[in-house]
Amino acid sequence: MRALDYLRPESPAAAVAALVSNPNAKYLGGGTNLVDHLKLGIVSPDELVDISRLPLDDIQEYDDGGGPGLRVGANVRNSDLAAHPVVRSSFPLVARALLSGASGQIRNQATTAGNLLQRTRCVYFQDATTPCNKRVPGSGCSAREGYGRYNAILGASDACVATHPSDLAVALAALDATVVLLGPDGERRLPLAELHRLPGDLPNLDTTLGRSELITGIEIPFSPVAALSTYRKVRDRASYAFALVSVAAAVHLEHGAVRDVRIAWGGVAHKPWRAERAERALVGQQLEPDVIGAAVEEELENAASGDENAYKVTLVRNTTVHTLLQLAEGHR
C-alpha cells in the first residue's frame, strides 16, 4: 500500500478544498469499501480526507417548494437509516434494500454516501493482476471472455460488462431521490438516476460526479407510491451476499388498477436500471401475471447475454412479476 497522508477537515467546504488542492486525494467515509481497495492495491491515493466526522448525520423531514420529503445526511450509517421509523413506514423498499446488504457489522460502519459510491464487485476489477478497463483504462476487459455469471445484461459496452453492487442505489432510483452535492463552485442537486452512468468507452468513470464533489446528503420525496413498496434480492445464499438480480418495486393502486408504479433493477447493469418502459406499459392495467410479464419483456427487449448470464434475463423477469403480485396483495 502506498504511503498515505491523513486529513480530518473541519467542514464540508474544507473537505472539498482539500480534494481540489490534491488530485490524488480521496474522501474516506466508513472505509468498508475504500480500505479494502487500498489493501487490494486497486486504488492508490496519497491522501485520505476523512469526512466521517463531519456533522452530516441527520435524518430530517423537509417541506420546501418541491414538496415534502426526507433528507438523509451523507454520514448516516446504513443500519441507522434502515431502522429509522419514517423510512420503515414511508419507504419500506429503502429499509429492505439496506437490510439485504452486507452484514450487521458492515451496516454499522457503512455510510449513505459511501454505499452509493461503492465500486463494482467484478472479480477482475478486484484482482490487480488481470486486465480491466475500469481499473486501468485501455488494458482490456477480462470479464467479457472470462467468468461471465455476474455480467450485465443491459447497457453494457465492449469496454465493460460490470454491474453496480449497491442495493440502496436501486431502491433510491425507484423513488426519484436526489443527491445533494458540494463542489468548488457551491451546492448542486442531481437526480439519483443521473448519478451513476453506463460504461460506454469510459468504464473507469462510475458516476457523473466531479472528482472533488462531496455528497452531503440525499433527499427522498414522500409519495403515495413509496408507501406500498418492497425490495427483493436474489442471491447465491440467503444472506451476506451480493445480488445476482434484485428488484425494487412500488405501486399505487386505485380500484385495482395501477395509478403509479416504480420498478428498478439491480445486478443487471452498470447503474441501477429504472425500468421505465415496463412502468409505462403497466399504468392503468390490472396487476396480472401475464400483464406484468409482457411489460417486463418490453423492457428486456434489448437485453444481451451470453451462456453464463442468460439466466439473469429470466430471473429478473420472474422476480419482477412475483414482487409486483406480492405488493398487490399488500406484502411490503
Partner 1 sequence: MDSQITLSVNGTSRSLTVDSRTTLLDALRERLGVTEVKKGCDHGQCGSCTVLLDGRRELACLALAVARDGVEVVTADGLAHDGLHAVQQAFLDHDGYQCGYCTPGQVCSAVGMLEEVKDGHPSHVTTDLEADVELTDDEVRERMSGNLCRCGAYAGILAAVRQAAGA
Ligand X SMILES: Cc1cc2nc3c(=O)[nH]c(=O)nc-3n(C[C@H](O)[C@H](O)[C@H](O)COP(=O)(O)OP(=O)(O)OC[C@H]3O[C@@H](n4cnc5c(N)ncnc54)[C@H](O)[C@@H]3O)c2cc1C
Residues in contact with ligand X by CB under 6 A are 26-34, 36, 51, 74, 101-102, 106, 109-111, 113-115, 117-118, 165-168, 214-215, 242
Name the packing angle between helices 311-328 and 289-299 (round to 10°): 140
Which of 100, 133 has the CB closer to ligand SF4?
A: 133
Q: In DSSP terms, which residues pair with 132 in a beta bridge?
A: 141
Residue type, 20: V
Residue (of 217, 214, 218) closest to 16 by Cα position: 214
User: Would you state the cell numbers that stand for residue 289, as one nine-digit string?
Assistant: 401475471
Which of 84, 274 has the CB closer to partner 1?
A: 84
Which of 81, 116 has the CB closer to partner 1?
A: 81
Where does this chain bind partner 1 (CB under 8 A)?
A: 1, 3-6, 28, 30-32, 35-36, 38-40, 48, 50, 52, 79, 82-83, 85, 88-89, 92, 95-96, 99-100, 102-106, 108-109, 238-240, 332
Find which of partner 1, ligand X, ligand SF4, none residue 188 binds, CB within 5 to 8 Å per kind.
Answer: none
Q: Are 42 and 125 in contact (CB under 8 A)?
A: yes
CB 29 to ligand X: min, Å: 3
- The C-alpha atoms of residue 278 and residue 297 are separated, in whole angstroms, by 8
Which of 18, 282 has the CB closer to partner 1?
A: 18
- The C-alpha atoms of residue 167 and residue 63 are separated, in whole angstroms, by 27
Find which of partner 1, ligand X, ligand SF4, none residue 320 binds, CB within 5 to 8 Å per kind.
Answer: none
DSSP structure class, residue 244? S
Q: In DSSP terms, which residues pair with 230 in a beta bridge?
A: 249
User: Does position 269 bind ligand SF4 by CB under 6 A?
Assistant: no
- The C-alpha atoms of residue 222 and residue 206 are separated, in whole angstroms, by 28
**Contact residues for ligand SF4, defined by CB under 6 A:** 120, 122, 124-125, 132-134, 141-143, 160-162, 203
